[in-house]
């Protein structure tokens, strides 16, 4: 099954590809690798999940924010290369969590994105290398920010 059909089967809706929030490109493709700038939990209605995890936002809500961030990343890929069927594999994710000083479960939050990609691309191609850590603050007070590298055709 191709990736575009898999999205439909899973009942997933991509938001519009988010516009840059500064002077940068959302994605560059170099030598078969798509480098995605940091993305936030941009919803289909244009809103963002805001708030510090461990104080304002609980772990489950942050997990869902990371999942929504993954959908925004997929929207950017599709907008830039035309089809998600051109993605061969996830190579690397870097996840940041807007974290209270005593919140330590950053990997469980970023699993929201990682598990989405495993569902969409499969257990092998959808799982790459990853780092996940906390940050004292993120732009606009978003709950999570994730960047990625994908192998593309």
- Strands of the sheet containing 27-30, edge to edge, are 27-30, 33-39, 144-152, 87-98, 129-135
Residues in the chain: 153
Domains of the chain: 24-152 (3.30.1330.40)
Residues 101, 103: Cα–Cα separation, whole Å? 6
Dihedral pair phi/psi, residue 143, rounded to 5°: -75, -35
| pLDDT tens digits, one per residue of 24-74 | 999 999 999 999 999 999 988 989 999 999 999 999 999 999 999 999 999
pTM, two decimals, is: 0.97
pLDDT tens figures, 77-97: 999 999 999 999 999 999 999
């Amino acid at each position: 099954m191709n990736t575009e059909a898999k999205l439909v089967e899973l009942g997933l809706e991509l938001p519009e590809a988010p516009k840059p929030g500064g002077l940068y490109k959302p994605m560059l493709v170099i030598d078969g690798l798509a480098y995605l700038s940091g993305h936030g939990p941009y919803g289909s209605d244009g809103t963002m999940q805001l708030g510090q995890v461990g104080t304002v936002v609980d772990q489950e809500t942050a997990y869902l924010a990371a999942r929504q961030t993954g959908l925004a990343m997929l929207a950017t890929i599709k907008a830039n290369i035309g089809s998600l069927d051109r993605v061969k594999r996830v190579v690397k994710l870097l996840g940041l969590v807007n974290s209270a000083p005593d919140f330590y479960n950053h990997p469980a939050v970023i699993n929201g994105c990682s598990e989405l990609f495993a569902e969409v691309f499969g257990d092998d191609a959808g799982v790459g290398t990853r780092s996940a850590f906390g940050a004292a603050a993120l732009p606009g007070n978003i709950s999570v920010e994730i960047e990625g590298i994908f192998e593309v055709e």
